[in-house]
């Protein structure tokens, strides 16, 4: 199975990091993974996107054009990418910063006010991880156990309190209905 994932938002929302979490988790699962960022001056404050592929076969093009799974964290990214999602795919939409709605019926759209939820719970900057929590619940492409060991590996020991914060954000997204 191959999952092509696109993440998009503003620079500073942790788009690249969220993508790295997914790729890292896939790698620990023993799968083939690739992570490809947008790069260049537009990274600072402008839009930012990232392609992640998880697969059981060698990965060809690392660029995701038509994602199976889309994570969008702001309005311009929603407008740009929502119609690129493969029929039968799904989109996770950060409704705190996305006002538009899509009338697509051939994909599952999951709305979550991730930025507001993160801020209300003292996890400012953690909206990206909240969205991953919801992705785990709805798609199952990675497991809760997998994500926990991923975060433990990715967070340096001297920043151990971040592990708990990240797991809290994951659970908030996972439990959101």
Partner 1 sequence: MAEERVLMKGNEALAEAAIRAGCRCYFGYPITPQTEIAAYMSKRMPKIEGGVFLQAESEIAAINMVYGAAASGVRAMTSSSSPGVSLKSEGISYIAGCDLPCVIVNVQRGGPGLGGIQPSQSDYYMATKAGGHGDFHLLVFAPASVQDMADFAVWAFESADKYRMPAMILSDGLLGQMMEPVVFPEISSAQPEKPWAAVGHNNARPHNIINSLYLQPDELEASNIQRFERYEVVKREMASAQTYLTEDAEIIVTGYGATSRIIRSAVNAARKEGIKAGMLRPVTLWPFPEQAYKDTLSTAKVYLDVEMSMGQMVNDVKLAIECKRPVHFFGHTGGIIPTPAEVLAQIKALDEKIRKGDI
Interface ranges with partner 1 (CB under 8 A): 20, 23-24, 27, 32-37, 39-40, 58-63, 65
CA 7/CA 52 separation, integer angstroms: 8
Which CB, 26 or 113, lies closer to partner 1? 26
What minimum distance in Å lies between the beta carbon of 18 and partner 1? 13
Tokens 């340096």 label which residue?
A: 156
Which CB, 22 or 114, lies closer to partner 1? 22
Of the candidates 124, 137, 88, 91, the residue with the CA atom closest to the CA atom of residue 110: 91
Which CB, 42 or 164, lies closer to partner 1? 42
Which CB, 29 or 108, lies closer to partner 1? 29
What minimum distance in Å lies between the beta carbon of 86 and partner 1? 12
The torsion angle over the Cα atoms of residues 134, 110, 9 and 48, rounded to 10 degrees, is 80
What minimum distance in Å lies between the beta carbon of 24 and partner 1? 5
For residue 111, list its beta bridge partners.
93
CA 146/CA 144 separation, integer angstroms: 5
What minimum distance in Å lies between the beta carbon of 41 and partner 1? 8
């Amino acid at each position: 199975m191959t999952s092509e994932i696109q993440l998009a938002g503003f620079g500073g929302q942790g788009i690249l990091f969220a993508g790295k979490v997914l790729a890292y988790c896939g790698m620990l699962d023993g799968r083939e993974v690739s992570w490809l960022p947008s790069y260049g001056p537009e990274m600072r404050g402008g839009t930012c996107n990232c392609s992640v592929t998880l697969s059981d076969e060698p990965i060809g093009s690392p660029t995701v054009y038509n994602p199976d799974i889309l994570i969008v964290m702001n309005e311009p990214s929603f407008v740009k990418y929502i119609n690129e999602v493969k029929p039968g795919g799904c989109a996770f939409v950060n409704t705190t910063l996305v006002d538009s709605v899509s009338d697509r019926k051939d994909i599952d759209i999951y709305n979550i006010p991730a930025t507001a939820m993160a801020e209300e719970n003292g996890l400012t900057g953690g909206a990206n991880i909240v969205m991953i929590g919801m992705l785990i619940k709805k798609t199952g492409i990675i497991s809760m156990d997998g994500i926990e060991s991923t975060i433990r590996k990715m967070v340096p020991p001297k920043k151990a309190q971040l592990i708990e914060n990240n797991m809290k954000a994951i659970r908030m997204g996972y439990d959101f209905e």
